Amino acid sequence: MADERETAVLERVLKHERVITLVGLALLCALAWVYLLTGAGLGMSVSDMTSLSLFPHKAAQASAAMSMSMPMSAAEMRDMAMGPPAWSPGLWALTTAMWWTMMVAMMTPSAAPTILLYGRTHRHALAHGQATGLAPAWAFAAGYLLVWLGFSLAAAGLHWGLERASLVSAATMGSRSRWLSGAVLMASGAYQLSPLQQACLGHCRSPAAFLSRHWRPGALGAVRLGVLHGTYCVGCCWMLMALLFVGGVMNLAWIAALTLLVMAEKVLPGGPWVARVCGVVMLAWGAATLLV
C-alpha cells in the first residue's frame, strides 16, 4: 500500500516537473528583471537607465561638461580634484549583485532549453527506475549560475578599475572615452568572428550533444555539468557583456538588445551567422566611434 502511494506521488511529480521547472526559470528571470527595473539598489529611475545613443561616450562627456559648468562649492571642487570616491564593501557587494542579476536576466532564457532537456532526462530515468546517478534540473541550473557569479565578480572588479581611471562614468556607468568605446566595440566584433567564439557557441546551441558528451552522474555531477555549460556560455558571450561598459552597465535598452542577440545566436537556425554579421557591424561601429 505504501509502495502504491509512493508510486502515485512520483507519477504526479513527473507529470508536473517540466511545468514546475519552466515556471521556476521564468519566475527567476522575471524577478531579476524586476530588480533591474527598480534600479538594482542604486536609486536609478527607468528614465535614467534608458538611453539610446549611437555614440554613448559623447552623452557622458556632455553630462560631465554640464556638471563642470555649474557653480560648485570649495568642498565639491576638492572632491572632484581627488577623483572618484573609494568603493565601500557595501558598494562592492551591490555592484557584484547588480552584475549577477543582469547575467541571470540575460542568460537564463537562452540556457532554458539545456536545463529543460536535463530535466527531461531526469524524469525519464525516474520513470524507468534508473534514478541512480541523476539529480534534479535545479542542480544543473545552480552550477550554471555559479559560473556567472564568478564572471560578475570579475566584471565588478573591472568596473571599479575603469571608474577609478575615469574611463567609465560613476553616474551613467558607461564609457566616457571614445578610445575605450571604440576598442571594446572592435574587440567584441573581432571575437564574434573568432574560432573560439564559434566553438563555444556550438556547445551552447546543441544541448543534446553537450549532455551526451559531458555527462556526469549524481548531484555533484549535475552541478559540474552546469558549471561546464556555463563556462562555454561565458566563452561565447563575455565580450558581448563587455559592451555594457560602452552603453552603460544599467542601460535597459542595451541590456534588452544584448539579451535578444544572445537568444538569436543560441536558438535561431542561423545563429552562427547572426554572430558573424553582428561582429562585422561591431567592427564598423567601433571604427566610426574612434573617428567622432
Highest mean pLDDT among 80-94, 201-215, 243-257, 269-283: 269-283
Strand, coil or helix: 50: coil
What confidence score (pLDDT) does residue 9 get? 46
Residue keyed to cell 537568444: 263
pLDDT tens-digit map of 96-133: 999 999 999 999 888 888 988 888 877 776 666 655 55
Residue ranges of alpha helices (H) inside 38-88 are 56-69, 74-82
- Cβ atoms of 46 and 252 within 8 Å: the answer is yes
| Dihedral angle sign, alpha carbons of residues 180, 246, 236, 287 | negative
Instruction: Name residue 278's amino acid.
Output: C
| Residue scoring higher pLDDT (188 or 173) | 188
Residue-range definition of the domain harbouring residue 209: 2-291
Other beta carbons within 10 angstroms of residue 195's beta carbon come to 7
Q: State the chain's mean pLDDT as an integer.
A: 80
- Cβ atoms of 192 and 254 within 8 Å: the answer is no
Q: Is the pLDDT of residue 79 over 90?
A: no
- Cβ atoms of 126 and 6 within 8 Å: the answer is no
User: What average pLDDT score do residues 85-89 get?
Assistant: 79
pLDDT tens-digit map of 210-253: 988 987 777 888 899 999 999 999 999 999 999 999 988 888 88
Which contacts qualify for 11-16: CB closer than 8 Å, 24 or more apart?
14/123, 14/126, 14/127
Which cell is 36 given? 533591474
Instruction: Name residue 82's amino acid.
Output: M
Residue keyed to cell 557653480: 71
What confidence score (pLDDT) does residue 50 get? 67
For residue 279, give every residue at least 6 positions away whose Cβ sits within 8 Å of its Cβ, in sequence order, or none.
188, 189, 190, 191, 192, 193
Dist. CA 211–CA 117, nearest whole Å: 9
For residue 204, give every residue at least 6 positions away whose Cβ sits within 8 Å of its Cβ, in sequence order, or none.
110, 114, 210, 229, 232, 233, 236, 266
DSSP states of 223-236? HHHHHHHHHHHHHH
- Exposure letters 125-138 (e unless 16+ CB within 10 A, then b): ebeeeeeeebbbbb
Dist. CA 133–CA 122, nearest whole Å: 10
pTM score of the predicted model: 0.81
- Cβ atoms of 200 and 233 within 8 Å: the answer is yes
Q: How many domains does the chain have?
A: 1
Dist. CA 212–CA 83, nearest whole Å: 53
pLDDT tens-digit map of 137-184: 888 999 999 999 999 999 999 999 999 998 998 877 888 888 999 999
Dist. CA 249–CA 251, nearest whole Å: 6
